[in-house]
Chain A
Amino acid sequence: MIKKSDIVKNGIIKNNPTFRLVLGTCPTLAVTTSVMNGISMGLATTFVLICSNIIISLLRNIIPDKVRIPAYILLIATFVIVVEMVLRAFLPDIYDALGLFISLIVVNCIILGRAESFASANTVLDSALDAVGIGAGFTFALMLMGFVRELLGAGSIFSWSIPVLSDCAMTIFILPAGGFFAYGFLMVIFNQLVKKAEERKKQKAEKGAER
């Protein structure tokens, strides 16, 4: 039996949707031109993910196997519409910045992937925790991408311009090409750090076993 805290932790590190599973790359590349955009996209997706994971986990024994994908999509789309309407009503700036990509959360592989691989086979509490972990991992990754791209591409953080950097900002990082650069390098760094950490853990475990 997997520990509850590990479910959350796995979502952030070992199964990080952006850097490890490479899912949901479309919003990752498209909307992360600033930290704020990254965070809001991450939170919107997290909300949909938590709701859909809970409901799908509740209904997992009722939905017939043959029609489960359309059923999942329908459920997910419902929550996406909720997010879209809330953003449009209360945070119009973010709604404008993210534009079409809010509606596209429906087809985000992360959500359908977790529904299919986790929520459809686990209890409600575990599914909710998994959604929290995966959502946090996704939000963290988008924030990191947004941070790097906004810092290098516009010379600012949260739209506050940084004196020296803003004079020589590299516009390419705001453009799609820069998104790929930032994504690739962050993925390398993230995976390297995780690998090192795992090796250290293993060594520790081996030492412990020897004693």
Chain B
Amino acid sequence: MNKLLVSSSPHIGSSMTTDKIMKHVVIALIPACIAGIFVFGLPSLLVLIVSTGTCVLTEYLYNMLTKKPQTVEDFSAVVTGLLLGMNLPPTIPLYIPIIGGVFAILVVKMLFGGLGKNFANPAITARIFVMLAWTKAMTTFVQPIDYSQGFFNAMTSHFSTMFGGGVDAVSSATPLGIIKGSLNGGGGTISILNMFLGYTAGCIGEVSALALILGGVYLIVLRIIDWKIPVLFILTSAIFALIFYDNGIMYVLPTILGGGLLLGAFFMATDYASSPNTSIGVIIYAIGCGFITMLIRRFGGYPEGVSFAILLMNLVSPLLDKYLRPRVFGVARKKPFAKKE
């Protein structure tokens, strides 16, 4: 066989293909999903399956109907679907993950040209879409299931809430909801240990900080995500928690562990297509995410602001790339005040 290959650039390939990266991301998300299922029971598994299935099916059908090459095998729709499902409350009516999944894939991803061409993270945008569409359903959270009634009963106990039982629906405030309420003179206590392990009310994939950190570290070690984004995002949030709240030191840990901060910082802000490409751009992007998150959490109407922060910074990132383009090696520096001849 001829060992000399003649080909056009690029000449350096990588064994890390898109579908491999996406499979690693799925692996990294699995601990948080399992934690969510153990905390809220089987309804949350159903939500995850429905949202993932919808995303994959939408991409498959879109490619089939528009006669484009099939891209389902790259696993990115699975990641989007999982992330969307993890962003929803566990007892959400099932039409919401379906419409959210179609919106994420069809409107945000495929209509803009598919993977890598989306202007914002599809899962985040879909979450905001369903949040604004069905605010009440999206902000109704349930308590973790009670295992004292036996494993099977506990696992299925939230189904009655999900399918419109309503009578035994025990809605509950999330830790961030309690913090928001306490600013307006409300009461309630939060347990840092429960927030760390995930035994608290919240979205399916957001409750267990431990599982999310595990997954995030896995991706950082494999160098799939840029460590700067999650670290700076979380750090900035913590610093602004110190500044924004009275007696701020009390709020640092709940800020980091609560809501979607860890999920957003590790898995959603790091989306390749919608985060900046320059290293200075990434730093500004991550700090911006943290700052906007804390502005919304402290001063905004909603208790949680991670998704809005990421979406806003997604929109800014092309601009960051444009103005922070690094100097090409060997090219003279531009003189900003050079005289025109």
- Could you list which residues of chain A lie within 8 angstroms of chain B, going by C-beta atoms? 168, 170-173, 175, 177, 181
Q: How far is the CB of A17 from the nearest CB of chain B, in Å?
A: 25
Please tell me if B95 contacts chain A, counting CB pairs below 8 Å.
Answer: yes
With both chains docked as a complex, state the minimum distance between the C-beta of B300 and any C-beta of chain A, in angstroms: 16
Whether the Cβ atoms of A172 and B129 lie closer than 8 Å is yes
Identify the B interface with A (CB < 8 A): 93, 95, 99, 107, 129, 132-135
Contacts of A173 in B (CB 8 A): 133
What residues of A have a CB within 8 angstroms of the CB of B95 in the complex? 168
Per the bound structure, the CA–CA distance linking A20 and B172 in Å amounts to 50
Q: How far is the CB of B125 from chain A (nearest CB, A)?
A: 11
A171 to B128 CA separation, bound complex (whole angstroms): 12
Of chain A, the residue at the smallest CB distance from B129 is A172
Chain B residues with CB under 8 A of A171: 132-135
Q: Contact: A172 with B93, CB < 8 Å?
A: no
Q: Cβ of A181: which chain B residues have Cβ within 8 Å of it? A: 107
Chain A residues closer than 8 Å to B129, beta-carbon distance: 172
Main SS class of interface, B: helix
Q: Roughly how many angstroms separate A188 CA and B95 CA in the complex, as a whole number? A: 25
Q: Which has the most chain A C-beta neighbours within 10 Å: B129, B133, B135?
A: B133
Chain B nearest CB from A168 CB (Å) reads 6
10 contacts between A and B (CB under 8 A): A168-B93, A168-B95, A170-B99, A170-B133, A171-B132, A171-B133, A172-B129, A172-B132, A173-B133, A181-B107
Looking at the assembled complex, report how far the CB atom of A164 sits from the nearest CB atom of chain B, in whole angstroms.
Answer: 10
* B132 with A177: CB separation less than 8 A: yes
Identify the interface centre among B93, B95, B132: most chain A CB within 10 Å of its CB: B132
Tell me, rounded to whole Å, the shortest Cβ–Cβ distance linking B322 to chain A. 24
Q: Which residues of B contact A170 (CB under 8 A)?
A: 99, 133-134
Complex-state Cα separation, A9 to B99, whole angstroms:
37
Q: Measured between alpha carbons, how far is A168 from B135 in the docked complex, in Å? A: 11
Contacts A168-B134, A175-B132 given; 15 further ones with Cβ under 8 A? A168-B93, A168-B95, A170-B99, A170-B133, A170-B134, A171-B132, A171-B133, A171-B134, A171-B135, A172-B129, A172-B132, A172-B133, A173-B133, A177-B132, A181-B107
CA gap between A170 and B135 in the complex, in Å: 9
- Distance (whole angstroms) from the CB of B47 to the closest CB of chain A: 16
The CA of A33 and the CA of B133, in the complex, are separated in Å by 14
How long is the Cα–Cα vector from A177 to B132 in the complex, in angstroms? 9
- Chain B residue at smallest Cβ distance from A181: B107
Q: Report Cα–Cα, A170/B107, bound state, in Å.
A: 16
* A168 CA to B138 CA, complexed, in Å: 12
- A205-B307 Cα distance, complex, nearest whole Å: 54
9 closest Cβ pairs, A-B complex: A170-B133, A172-B132, A172-B133, A171-B133, A168-B95, A175-B132, A172-B129, A171-B135, A171-B132
Min CB–CB distance A179 → chain B (angstroms): 12
By a CB distance below 8 angstroms, the chain B residues around A177 are 132
Bound Cα distance A171, B132 (Å): 6
Residue of A whose beta carbon sits closest to that of B131: A172
Contact partners of A168 in chain B: CB under 8 A:
93, 95, 134
A204 smallest CB distance to B (angstroms): 26
List, in ascending order, chain B residues with CB within 8 A of A175's CB.
132
Which A residues are in CB contact (< 8 Å) with B107?
A: 181
Write the nearest CB–CB distance from A177 to chain B, whole angstroms. Answer: 7
Shortest distance from the beta carbon of B55 to any chain A beta carbon, whole Å = 19
Name the residue in A170, A175, A181 with the highest tally of chain B Cβ atoms < 10 Å from its Cβ. A170
Considering the complex, give the chain A residue whose CB is closest to the CB of B95.
A168
Residue from A172, A173, A177 with most neighbouring chain B CB atoms (10 Å): A172
Q: Compute how far the CA of A163 lies from the CA of B134 in the bound complex, rounded to whole angstroms.
A: 17
Interfacial chain A residues near B93, Cβ < 8 Å: 168
Query: CA A181 – CA B133 in complex, angstroms?
Result: 13
The interface residues of chain A lying within 8 Å CB-to-CB of B132 are 171-172, 175, 177
Give Cα A97 to B11, complex, Å: 64
Measured in the bound complex, the distance between the Cα atoms of B136 and A171 in whole Å is 10
Chain B nearest CB, measured from A175 CB (Å): 6
CA distance A171 to B135 in the complex (A): 8
Complex: A205 Cα to B6 Cα, angstroms = 52
**In whole angstroms, how far apart are the Cα atoms of A173 and B95 in the complex?**
16
Could you tell me the distance between the alpha carbons of A170 and B99 in the complex, rounded to whole angstroms? 10
Tell me how far the C-beta of A182 lies from the nearest C-beta in chain B, rounded to whole angstroms: 12
Chain A nearest CB, measured from B66 CB (Å):
13
Please name all residues of chain B whose beta carbon is closer than 8 Å to the beta carbon of A172 when the two chains form the complex. Answer: 129, 132-133
Chain A residue, CB-CB nearest to B133: A170
- Measured in the bound complex, the distance between the Cα atoms of B95 and A172 in whole Å is 15
For B134, the chain A residues whose CB sits under 8 A away are 168, 170-171
Q: With A and B bound together, what is the CA distance between A177 and B135 in angstroms?
A: 15
Q: Distance (Å) between the CB of A167 and the closest chain B CB?
A: 9
- A177 and B128 CA atoms in complex are apart in Å by 11
